[in-house]
């Protein structure tokens, strides 16, 4: 058997624990798909795979048990899914050749405002926009998008996590001082609201922009102001040093978000250690230091009047050095 | 008198009106809805014909135009107390039949309930004039026909949007003169909504024994006491009083009244911390009976006008209509058993 494993991996196939068989990963940008594609996935799994499908943590489908010699045939079947990618704006050269890259992972998203009332925006639409910006690409990057700081998509475990923000706007003339917003923010969020002389005061630097005060207010005294995004950066799992992402930028607009992501790829391109088979972006930053990362990611980015950037990324809270705290 | 107007003609009519009146009506505020990507339709200044929203119910009722959410009652400075004066332009309010009926309920509470009319309400109310917006078929949750509020009186003019033009029924000046100037004479008969998908049967009488019924226990678990049902209701009139001491000068301040809701925790708190109706089921009972029974015993008409807002705004899907229908069934069963 002769197969180029590097090429297979770039084609979104895996080297699996079953010799001679592979598993195909199907991208679903934003984790949302017309149900009509399920027939195709079922068909591949039944005819070429072992009849099962795995739902991946990155919101794709993984079809295991495909004989390696069937890869070209399966790739031809993927044309409708690649056409869907192309419709998002992803440049696809050959619709018969399967996925053109797998390093940059599927962009995941929580269900967002199409379903979830907490969401501050349509996360799926942004995921699809970002997919067209960064795919195909071999650099190993994980991006996730979440509609509010509940972070149901676990943006804090990604290289780049994008969290929707909204600036709440207050009309004192409509506020009846019921305290619903104040109590809720104090009990469940960051306590950015205080009642003072029957008026609500918001501490803009504490406020997360989660929008819950808007949801709570029975008077529409709080309404939606402009939409913004917070970016949490450099979270990761893994065998070396897992950590939660930390806030890198906040209160920036969509244009700035897209620019920062484009800059991330340029940064990787400049600094990646090409002597290694692959280098994950988090480890590149471990080498260059945060200041270089920050400078290069912000090149040409207009943070706008409200935008804030982190001085440092405070990673703490988790350690693999278990000898520090385990008994025995 | 009836008139047919083009949108341009009606626009010119509004422009002329705006020189003497402030005009309020249902207006859509893009992106201002509670949920991301939704609009808020509510009462606001109408600047052009296209501002008027015909295809949605307003979240809040027109009452806020003449019963402000917050109103200063008096100012104090040391020992001196002054009442704020009011200079108010004549005001036109575009509204639906149910909401116009609701105004008569508010008038009863503020003008005919106590020994004296409420002067703050009265002095605004006298400047308010109404234009009826005719409903073609109502909105989900409306039950005006059940409440007899699908028809209305007391408006200066009625307006209907029909395809690409407006039909105006001018019942008083300045509308007749305006119709002559900006429209073509036409036969315009008022049209009223004749049926709603939702029917509500209000019981003639509610037995005191039902106060303890398990029906209210269910609401005690379901209601989150947010107050939306009452704050959006066109007939709720409750307010609380705030004494505000100015931060920059503690010698000065003001007393104001602010809308309140019997459904929100703390509303019935008395000095000493005793809550009259701490239980949310009890509060819903109080509200529902007030709307369909207690008010009627005092004034001869039901308070509720079937606008359907409380149905629509409740985040917990608590249906006022279902509650009233259940009460009616319970009373019917009781009637049969007796
Ligand atoms: S992260 Fe927020 S918006 Fe997204 S699903 Fe969770 S609660 Fe909803
Ligand atoms: S947006 Fe969230 S954090 Fe900010 S004040 Fe409102 S509830 Fe609090
Ligand atoms: S929830 Fe709305 S009405 Fe209540 S205190 Fe907050 S802003 Fe005021
Ligand atoms: S009780 Fe409900 S349906 Fe009746 S007038 Fe009030 S908001 Fe409208
Ligand atoms: S709107 Fe619903 S949940 Fe809120 S107070 Fe009224 S009945 Fe209770």
For the segment A209-258, what is each residue's pLDDT rounded down to a tens digit?
999 999 999 999 999 999 999 999 999 998 888 999 999 999 999 999 99
B119 plus B20 within the same structural domain: yes
Domain boundary among B135, B153, B185: B185
Domains of chain A: 5-87 (3.30.70.3340), 108-166+230-309 (3.30.413.10)
Supply the pLDDT for residue A38: 98
- Over range B130-142, report the average pLDDT: 94
CA–CA gap between residue B36 and residue A227 (Å, rounded): 9
Cα–Cα distances in Å, from B180 out to B7, B72, B161?
Answer: 15, 41, 18
B139 plus B225 within the same structural domain: no
Best residue in B30, B36, B236 for a mutation probing chain A (most A CBs within 10 Å): B36
Q: How many CB pairs under 8 A join A and B?
A: 68
| Other residues' Cβ atoms within 10 Å of the Cβ of residue A171 | 13
Spatial contact of B306 and B320, defined as CB atoms under 8 Å apart: no
Res. A289: pLDDT tops 60: yes
* Three-state SS at B74: strand
Measured between CB atoms, which of A122, A180, A223 is closest to B37? A122
DSSP one-letter string for B251-286 = TEEEEEEEE--TTSTTTTB-TTS-BTT-SHHHHHHH
B288 plus B172 within the same structural domain: no
B180 plus B247 within the same structural domain: no
CA–CA gap between residue B326 and residue A97 (Å, rounded): 64
Q: Which domain holds residue B323?
A: 208-337
Res. B333: pLDDT tops 90: no
- Over range B300-325, report the average pLDDT: 97
- Whether the ipTM is more than 0.85: the answer is yes
- The reply to whether B194 falls in a domain is no
B38 plus B174 within the same structural domain: yes
Q: A311 versus B278: which is more confidently predicted?
A: A311
Q: Tell me which DSSP letter residue A87 carries.
A: H
- The reply to whether B327 falls in a domain is yes
- The reply to whether B37 falls in a domain is yes
Consecutive H or E run containing B35: none
- Over range A99-114, report the average pLDDT: 97
Closest CA to A179 of A189, A192, A194, A197: A194
B155 plus B226 within the same structural domain: no
Place B275 in a pLDDT band, splitting at 50, 70 and 90: low
Please state the domain count of chain B. Answer: 2
B218 plus B154 within the same structural domain: no
Q: A325 versus B52: which is more confidently predicted?
A: B52
Res. B269: pLDDT tops 70: no
- Over range B243-256, report the average pLDDT: 93
B6 plus B148 within the same structural domain: yes
B49 plus B87 within the same structural domain: yes
Spatial contact of A228 and A167, defined as CB atoms under 8 Å apart: yes
pLDDT in tens, B9-49: 999 999 999 999 999 999 999 999 999 999 999 999 999 99
pLDDT in tens, B185-196: 999 999 999 999
B177 plus B220 within the same structural domain: no
- The reply to whether B163 falls in a domain is yes
- Over range B56-64, report the average pLDDT: 98
Q: Which residues pair with A54 in a beta bridge?
A: A62
In this structure, what is the dihedral angle of CA atoms A150, A117, A161, A311, given to the nearest 10 degrees?
-70
B173 plus B217 within the same structural domain: no
Domain boundary among B185, B218, B251: B185
Best residue in B28, B34, B310 for a mutation probing chain A (most A CBs within 10 Å): B34
Res. B266: pLDDT tops 80: no
* Three-state SS at A128: helix
- The reply to whether B192 falls in a domain is no
B156 plus B120 within the same structural domain: yes
Q: How much is the mean pLDDT over chain B?
A: 94
CA angle B281, B284, B287 (to 5 degrees): 155
CB < 8 Å from A in window 229-268 of B: 231, 242, 244-245, 247, 258-261, 264
Domain boundary among B153, B185, B217: B185
């Amino acid at each position: 058997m002769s197969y180029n494993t590097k090429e297979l991996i770039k084609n979104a196939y895996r080297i699996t624990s079953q010799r001679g068989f592979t598993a195909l990963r199907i991208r679903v940008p934003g984790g949302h798909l017309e149900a009509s594609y399920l027939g195709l996935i079922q068909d591949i799994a039944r005819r070429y795979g072992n009849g099962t499908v795995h739902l991946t943590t990155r919101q794709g489908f993984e079809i295991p048990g495909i004989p390696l010699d069937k890869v070209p045939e399966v790739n031809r079947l993927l044309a409708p899914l690649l056409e869907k990618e192309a419709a998002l704006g992803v440049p696809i050269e050959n619709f018969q050749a399967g996925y053109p890259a797998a390093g940059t992972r599927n962009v995941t998203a929580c269900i967002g405002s199409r379903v979830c009332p907490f969401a501050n925006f349509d996360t799926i639409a942004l995921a699809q926009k970002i997919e067209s910006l960064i795919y195909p690409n071999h650099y190993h990057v994980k991006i996730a998008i979440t509609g509010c700081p509940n972070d149901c998509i676990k943006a804090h475990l990604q290289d780049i996590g994008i969290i929707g923000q909204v600036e709440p706007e207050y009309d004192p003339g409509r506020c009846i001082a019921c305290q619903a917003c104040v109590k809720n923010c104090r009990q469940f969020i960051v306590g950015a609201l205080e009642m003072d002389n029957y008026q609500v005061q918001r501490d803009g630097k504490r406020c997360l922009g989660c929008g819950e005060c808007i949801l709570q207010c029975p008077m529409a005294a709080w309404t939606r102001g402009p939409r913004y995004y917070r970016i949490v950066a450099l979270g990761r799992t893994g065998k070396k040093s897992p950590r939660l992402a930390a806030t890198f930028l906040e209160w920036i607009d969509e244009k700035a978000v897209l620019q920062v992501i484009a800059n991330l790829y340029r940064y990787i391109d400049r600094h990646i250690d090409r002597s290694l088979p692959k280098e994950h972006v988090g480890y590149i930053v471990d080498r260059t230091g945060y200041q270089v990362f920050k400078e290069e990611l912000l090149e040409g980015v207009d943070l706008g009047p409200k935008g804030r950037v982190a001085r440092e990324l405070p990673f703490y809270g988790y350690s693999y050095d278990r000898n520090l705290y385990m008994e025995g | 008198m009836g008139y047919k107007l083009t949108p341009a003609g009606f626009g010119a009519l509004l422009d002329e009106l705006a020189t003497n009146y402030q005009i309020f009506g249902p207006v859509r505020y893009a992106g201002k809805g509670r949920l991301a990507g939704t609009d808020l339709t509510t009462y606001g200044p109408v600047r052009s014909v296209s501002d008027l929203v015909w295809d949605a119910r307003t979240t809040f009722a027109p009452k806020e135009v003449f019963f402000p959410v917050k109103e200063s009652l008096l100012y104090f400075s040391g020992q001196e107390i002054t009442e704020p004066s009011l200079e108010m332009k004549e005001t036109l309010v575009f509204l639906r039949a149910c909401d116009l009926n609701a105004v008569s309920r508010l008038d009863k509470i503020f003008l005919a309930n106590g020994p004296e009319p409420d002067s703050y309400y009265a002095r605004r109310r006298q400047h308010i004039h109404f234009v009826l917006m005719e409903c073609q078929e109502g909105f989900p949750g409306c039950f005006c026909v059940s409440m007899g509020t699908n028809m209305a009186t007391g408006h200066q003019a009625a307006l209907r949007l029909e395809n690409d033009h407006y039909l105006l029924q001018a019942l008083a000046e300045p509308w007749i003169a305006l119709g002559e100037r900006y429209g073509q004479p036409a036969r315009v008969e008022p049209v009223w909504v004749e049926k709603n998908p939702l029917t509500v049967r209000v019981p003639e009488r509610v037995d005191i024994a039902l106060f303890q019924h398990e029906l209210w226990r269910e609401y005690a678990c379901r209601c989150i006491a947010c107050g939306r049902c009452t704050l959006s209701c066109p007939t709720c009139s409750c307010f609380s009083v705030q004494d505000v001491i100015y931060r920059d000068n503690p010698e000065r301040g003001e007393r104001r009244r602010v809308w309140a809701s019997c459904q929100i925790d703390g509303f019935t708190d008395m000095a000493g911390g005793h809550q009259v109706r701490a239980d949310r089921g009890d509060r819903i009972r109080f509200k529902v009976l007030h709307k369909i029974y207690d008010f009627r015993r005092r004034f001869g008409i039901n308070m509720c006008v079937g606008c359907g807002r409380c149905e629509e705004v409740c985040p917990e899907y608590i249906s006022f209509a279902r509650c009233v229908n259940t009460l009616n069934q319970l009373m019917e069963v009781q009637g049969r058993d007796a």
